[in-house]
Structure 1
Amino acid sequence: MTTTTRSSAREHADSANGAPPASKAQPGSKHKAEEGAQLPEAKRAKKSDEKEQKTIEETIGGSEQAKREKQEEKPEQEEEITDDTKKGAAKAKKEADTGDAVEPHGREDAESIPSSILEKGIIYFFFRGRVGIDEPSEVDEIARSYIILRPIAKDAKLGSGPIGDAGNSRVCVVPKKVLPKTGKDRWISFVEKTGASFKDLREEFLRSNDYETKTAGTRHTPAATPVAEGVYAITSTGRDSHLAYILTLPDKLGEVQKEIGLKEKGSFIISTRNPQYEAPKNARLPKGPEYPKELLDEFRSLRWAPTQPAHLDYVNTQFLLVGESSGIGKALEPQKKDEKEGKNEPAEELEQLEEEDAQRMKDLSDNDSARIFADLQADAGDYPKLPTTF
């Protein structure tokens, strides 16, 4: 089913329905961001010509003509082969190759970013069908759900094109198949991959896999199926940390998204398990995260601590997701200190990021599946389409 990004009309709809003013800019409006200019690739000095010229000079005893040619060539060489020039050219080439939409330090009002936002970025939701089931027809046919986090700098803004591969993606596993919806739902999840490149995601996570077993013969693990894409922020509200998100794709939630537990705007309380204590019997992993001592010391005697972004950079980190039925409001509450300093509201920050994301995703392709896989530098034809109905 083909869907499109949400239009700015949702802003007026929210106002008419009495939606709470969580931010100065209401959800749904999309702002265009211009594509950043790229640096030209530096020219390289022709070392082979230089070597040939030197040989001629030695042969004819240093003729005046050769000397003049050397003096004319030297300034150009010294200017063009500096380290800074090489680095600039390499950076420009990399940006051209990856189509990186992230504009580092692109925010002119960086000092207004609220301190409660610990991390922000792009979020993707996937699920994988059970063995042998490529297209699940109900939740029970899903093996697991996944959350992919692709962080960006807090003072970055999004321009045009795909997100670009920074090699910092994380794959988080939700064994319960669906996401927690209320405070009664408390799911233990874990980090399966950290520092992953898009190539890693294609080869080790997204694609299907066939393998042989002694008893059942060839078994087929389906490819990962995209469910939604959007923006996220890990926030701190004092005692708790939250994982808040706003969806960009699909434009309208379907049966699949609702069954998985997604909302247009949602959040979870997120806490990290102290690996110095034994995990619950039904949630034990073969190996725990290899935290450095300074990170372990931060847990003190707590069994669970508010999640910090650094926790999610270690494989096998276990974290608790608790549903928040009240929506995104608590996760994006402004802090008194930030209000006194005149900083932006967290809700306003996330809304702005979603507007930038919506514009760039709209330009990537004409359907949601192709947009998501273009963002991840994968061929959409090799993977299931984004479903809205079972």
Structure 2
Amino acid sequence: MASKGDVQTLEKGSIYFFYRPKVNEEEPSGLGDVERMYMVLSPGRRDVVRLAVVGRKKLPDPSEKGRRKYWGFVDMVRKDPTAIRDEFGSDENRTKTRGRQYLPAARPVGEGVYRILRHGDHTHLVYALELPDKTGKVQKDLNIAREASYIISVKNPESGGKPQAGLSDGQQAGFPKKLQEEFRGRKFADADPPEFLDHEGCEFLLIPASDDVKEELGLELNPEHETRHSADVFQELRLDVDENPVRPLFEGKWD
């Protein structure tokens, strides 16, 4: 069993959480109104931003250690953060059979700092929130805790799988040879190196480990105090408050 001191930081940066309401849902009030949940990872000192889709439309509860495995995948990888912002916009079209179809804009619901860690024989994704100052109903419904630790592993796209499980063959990542060799024939590998996540179609599993990073790993994440004026989601992603409602981020309320 790995000790608290047996921890190596592989990557650190900023993390953002978003949700998008279902089609034509302009007043979401709970998880049943959510179409997708997103997680954005922006590594420090690296010219890349990743947009990941979180399965089940919420994070696994970090307090339920080892009880659940949640699937997700990397949907977009870009050098320009504003390309990620554009993905969060609203859209409207009309169809002959369904009439007006309105896709609401995504809402920011959390901002913080994260690290990908090597801990003994496995890897972790850990984070601590900077916003909102106090989590509310929307964060509770999406299982976004003040801080959390998840064991993270990456799926081997060449291992096959059950029909209708995960992405199709054409959607899965095509890793370069050096990364593919890290699997050594196994179905899953640790997220080491984190560059696995730089490839669109990379599938991963999150397994809850703890809701107290310091207690579990002996690590202080040191989130900073952020405000509407200093929030990185506006500074880095250039999020437009007129397009993307920010009440969930600052008040913890559905909007």
Same fold (TM over 0.5): yes
Alignment partners' CA distance in 1, 2:31 and 2:119: 33
The structure in which a higher percent of residues are helix is 1
Structure 2 counterpart of 1:171, from 27, 51, 61: 51
What's the RMSD between the two structures over aligned residues?
2.3
Deviation at 1:363, TM superposition (A): 7.6
Is this contact kept in 2: 1:311–1:317, CA < 8 A? Answer: yes
* 2:188 is the counterpart of 1:304: yes
Partner of 1:146: 38
- Amino acid aligned to 1:177: K
1:342-380 CA distance string (max 9 Å, x none) = xxxxx23x22xx23xx2xx33825xx7xx6334422321
Query: SS at the partner of 2:207?
Result: strand
Alignment partners' CA distance in 2, 1:128 and 1:246: 22
- What aligned pairs does 1:105-124 form with structure 2 within 5 A after superposition? 116-124=8-16
1:212-252 CA distance string (max 9 Å, x none) = 33421231111010101000000010211111001000011
Alignment partners' CA distance in 2, 1:232 and 1:126: 16
* 2:245 is the counterpart of 1:384: yes
- Amino acid aligned to 1:377: R
Is this contact kept in 2: 1:272–1:304, CA < 8 A? Answer: yes
Alignment partners' CA distance in 2, 1:140 and 1:234: 31
Partner of 2:233: 372
Deviation at 1:290, TM superposition (A): 1.4
Question: Which structure ranks higher in relative contact order (CA pairs < 8 Å, sequence separation ≥ 6)?
Answer: 2
- Is the alpha carbon distance of 1:208 and 1:363 closer, same or farther for their aligned partners in structure 2, counting shifts above 3 Å? closer
Partner of 1:219: 101
Query: SS at the partner of 2:93?
Result: strand
- What aligned pairs does 1:31-42 form with structure 2 within 5 A after superposition? none
Alignment partners' CA distance in 1, 2:200 and 2:242: 30
* 2:179 is the counterpart of 1:295: yes
Deviation at 1:268, TM superposition (A): 0.9
Partner of 1:240: 122
- Is the alpha carbon distance of 1:377 and 1:191 closer, same or farther for their aligned partners in structure 2, counting shifts above 3 Å? same
Deviation at 1:144, TM superposition (A): 1.2
Alignment partners' CA distance in 2, 1:238 and 1:184: 20
Runs of 4+ in structure 1 deviating by more than 6 angstroms, as ranges, are none
Deviation at 1:115, TM superposition (A): 6.8
- Amino acid aligned to 2:76: K
5+ long unaligned stretches in structure 2: none
- Amino acid aligned to 1:328: V
* 2:207 is the counterpart of 1:362: no
- Amino acid aligned to 2:57: K
Alignment partners' CA distance in 2, 1:300 and 1:149: 27
- Is the alpha carbon distance of 1:389 and 1:379 closer, same or farther for their aligned partners in structure 2, counting shifts above 3 Å? closer
Partner of 2:198: 313
- Is the alpha carbon distance of 1:214 and 1:331 closer, same or farther for their aligned partners in structure 2, counting shifts above 3 Å? farther
Alignment partners' CA distance in 2, 1:170 and 1:298: 21
Query: SS at the partner of 2:242?
Result: helix
5+ long unaligned stretches in structure 1: 1-21, 24-113, 154-165, 334-346
Deviation at 1:327, TM superposition (A): 3.1
- What aligned pairs does 1:126-275 form with structure 2 within 5 A after superposition? 126-153=18-45, 167-181=47-61, 182=64, 183-203=66-86, 205-275=87-157
Deviation at 1:195, TM superposition (A): 2.3
The structure in which a higher percent of residues are strand is 2
1:142-184 CA distance string (max 9 Å, x none) = 011100011003xxxxxxxxxxxx7511000013111011222
Total equivalences in the alignment: 242
Q: Given the two structures, how large is their TM-score scaled by the length of structure 1?
A: 0.58
Q: Given the two structures, how large is their TM-score scaled by the length of structure 2?
A: 0.87
- What aligned pairs does 1:320-331 form with structure 2 within 5 A after superposition? 320-325=205-210, 327-329=212-214
Deviation at 1:302, TM superposition (A): 1.1
Is this contact kept in 1: 2:73–2:204, CA < 8 A? Answer: yes
Is this contact kept in 2: 1:271–1:319, CA < 8 A? Answer: yes
